[in-house]
Amino acid sequence: MNVHGEPWVIEYNCRMGDPETEVVMPMLQTDIVALFAAMDNGTLIDANISFSEQTCATVMAVSGGYPGDYQKNIPIYGLAELPPSADSIIFHAGTKQTENGVVTNGGRVLAVTSYGNTIPEAVAKSKKILEKISFEGMYYRKDIGFEFA
């Protein structure tokens, strides 16, 4: 973080979090189980690891009030009507299946990851899907990817 021109470290992670994983792992074209097996038997150095030439972008839909207080058990609309897509993946983060349908169950509710030839194209695909999904208090950032345009 930049505070009055001085760098400040506010967090240091030794692992990828959800949003990082949801954008990086879809790019992996190598069978991840084979990579785990190679790690286990000491042959990872010989593995041929490949990634997609496309790019991915993830946009996270969050509950109103997140990261502070937010309500749970709010019905989510539009998921069942979405057509299958080879270009996008919807990750359920803070959701719960009930007898009446899918409801919110956390602050980070859904992550939509999409492929594109550019970051702005991938972001646009994710936002297009999020425009078809709704729940009371739903929020997602609309400024993601602009620095790469």
| Least confident span in 14-28, 47-61, 68-82 | 14-28
CA distance between the termini of the chain? 23
Structure-token match 């949003």, residue found: 19
pLDDT at 32: 95
State both tokens at 53. Answer: 């030439």
State both tokens at 129. Answer: 């899907």
State both tokens at 69. Answer: 């207080």
Tell me, what CATH number does 68's domain have?
Answer: 3.90.600.10
Beta bridge partner(s), residue 19: none
135: Cα separation from own chain's centroid: 18
pLDDT beyond 80 at 114? yes
pLDDT digits (tens, 9 = 90+) for 119-145: 999 999 999 999 999 999 999 988 877
How many residues are recorded in the chain? 149
Structural domain including 125 reads 2-148
pLDDT category of residue 148 using cuts at 50, 70 and 90: low
pLDDT at 2: 85
pLDDT digits (tens, 9 = 90+) for 55-91: 999 999 999 999 999 999 999 999 999 999 999 999 9
Question: Count of domains in the chain?
Answer: 1
- φ and ψ of 27, to 5 deg: -75, -25
What's the pTM value of the predicted model, to 2 decimals? 0.83
